[in-house]
Amino acid sequence: MAEFDTDLFVIGGGSGGVRAARIAAGYGARVMVAEEYRMGGTCVIRGCVPKKLMVYASHFHQEFEDAAGFGWTVPAPSFDWATLIANKDKEIARLEAAYTSNVEKSGARVLKARAVLEDAHTLRLSTGERVRANYVLIATGGAPNHGPAIPGIEHVISSNEVFHLPQLPRRILIQGGGYIALEFACIFAGLGSDVTVVYRGDNILRGFDEDVRAHVRSEMEKEGITILTGCTVAKVDKHAHEFTSHLSNGSSIASDKVMFAIGRHPNVANLGLENAGVAINPNNGGIAVDGFSKTSVPNIYAIGDVTHRINLTPVAIREGHAFADTVFGNKQVRVDHADIPTAVFSQPEVGTVGLTENQAREKLHRVDIYKASFRPMKATLSGRDTRMLMKLVVDGATDRVVGCHIVGDGAAEMVQVLGIAVKMKATKADFDATMALHPTAAEELVTMRAPTARHVRAAAE
């Protein structure tokens, strides 16, 4: 009898776990994948994909408004929430089936069960089955974090429940200032809800470039979204079908729904990690791993949001692929977590890659800033009061472009391509030598000639 039932046991059927399973199976490994809920994980089932579909839906109100300036007469539009949710659910079901099918086609086996570690090689399934695995990959992702248990926390929804609301809330309060909070604030505002954002910090999008933070806030406020910073929700009361949120600044706000999007925590609980001796990173609460995603136990690895490194789907996929290449493909592959492009699908959209201005000034001796804020061409006829922002952060000593930040339509698409240039260490001279494509907004990236600011760091005394 073989010592192990499988070469690789993957806990979690999200994007990272699925990629690892398929690549490992392609190398000839015997692979099992355990998923207790739905294949596809956070991104496919309750994250990026359904959210982006809802973002598309919320954009139409602007298109209807803008049409008049271009000669179109559009009858008063109406929106049906139930239709959007039903169509969204249908697409998610299709993707879930595709994920399952692709894993099985690769030769891996899908187990619809929860798996818990009994020791470094033994897993107990919720079906009662026990499996002995040579290698174990933990890819259980993360979950919404509601923060401190305030009075009335049971009335608050998270980004999990928001996709399944029976009806569109007329008024919604959203606590949080990051990706999820702002994306849903703009979704609901675009679909016609009255939206209030509450955030504890001094401004939204902590960690992003300061110009980006200011620009996004200004544009969201133009669209009627109320943004309250420097305060938190201290208590939530329910009165029949509405809620009253009491804020730390003494004010209160009535709404039909209260949503918290104040962060996510790694799914590390009740996995049996202590049985196997898998260590937790004390700095972030995720599973501690090295550069090859190996945990404190030699045969157990972890990837994606459960490690709480960089919580983005493409990162989890790249980590899963690298794991399979390293362990089963006989080639050492280490993921480079530098210069990862990212987007916030707020309205306006944000795309960014590389260093912020402040990060560059802390790290580099000389920093040159190139920045343009302008009215997009479409707005000249539509009459919409909106502006785009484009910003390049350049190492003044080497001329290398070390950061790109865009706010406006198409920002994410542009930054995906800019990510290649930054990764290739393109210089400002390379940008300048690139012919502009006219008329586009993106041509600003190669036509900004004069720096808007230059910073030289004072020598340490």
Instruction: Give the span between the Cα atoms of 445 and 436, in whole angstroms.
Output: 8
Structural domain boundaries in the chain: 6-144+265-328, 153-262, 342-455
Best CATH choice for the domain 153-262 from the list 3.40.50.620, 3.40.50.970, 3.50.50.60, 3.40.50.300: 3.50.50.60
Question: Using an 8 Å Cβ cutoff, are 261 and 232 in contact?
Answer: no
Please write the tens of the pLDDT for every residue from 405-414. Answer: 999 999 999 9
Q: Is the pLDDT of residue 457 over 90?
A: no
> How would DSSP label each residue in 340-403?
--EEE-SSS-EEEEE--HHHHHHH-SEEEEEEEEE--HHHHHH-----EEEEEEEETTT-BEEE
* pLDDT at 461 (0 to 100): 39
* pLDDT at 458 (0 to 100): 75
Mean pLDDT, to the nearest integer, of 316-336? 96
Write the CA distances from 174 to 177, 178, 181, 303, 388, integer angstroms.
9, 11, 6, 30, 25
6-144+265-328 and 153-262: same fold?
yes
Q: Is the pLDDT of residue 232 over 70?
A: yes
Q: Does domain 342-455 have CATH number 3.30.390.30?
A: yes
φ, ψ dihedrals at 405, nearest 5°:
-140, 125
Instruction: Give the span between the Cα atoms of 88 and 158, in whole angstroms.
Output: 18
Sign of CA dihedral 254, 255, 256, 257: negative
Burial of residue 138 (number of CB atoms within 10 Å: 0-12, 13-18, 19+): buried
Q: Is the pLDDT of residue 30 over 60?
A: yes
Please write the tens of the pLDDT for every residue from 359-386. Answer: 999 999 999 999 999 999 999 999 999 9
φ, ψ dihedrals at 109, nearest 5°:
-110, 130
Q: Which residues pair with 123 in a beta bridge?
A: 117, 131
Q: Determine which helix (DSSP H) or strand (DSSP E) holds 239, and give its type and residue range.
A: strand 233-239
Other CB atoms within a 10 A radius of the CB of residue 344 amount to: 24
Mean pLDDT, to the nearest integer, of 51-56? 96
| Residue 460: pLDDT band with limits 50, 70, 90 | very low
Rounded CA Rg of the chain:
24
- Mapping DSSP to helix (H, G, I), strand (E, B) and coil, where does residue 179 land? helix
Q: Cite the active site residues.
A: 438
Please write the tens of the pLDDT for every residue from 168-227. Answer: 999 999 999 999 999 999 999 999 999 999 999 999 999 999 999 999 999 999 999 999
| CATH architecture, domain defined by 6-144+265-328 | 3-Layer(bba) Sandwich (3.50)
Q: Are strands 233-239 and 242-247 parallel, antiparallel or unpaired?
A: antiparallel
Burial of residue 380 (number of CB atoms within 10 Å: 0-12, 13-18, 19+): exposed
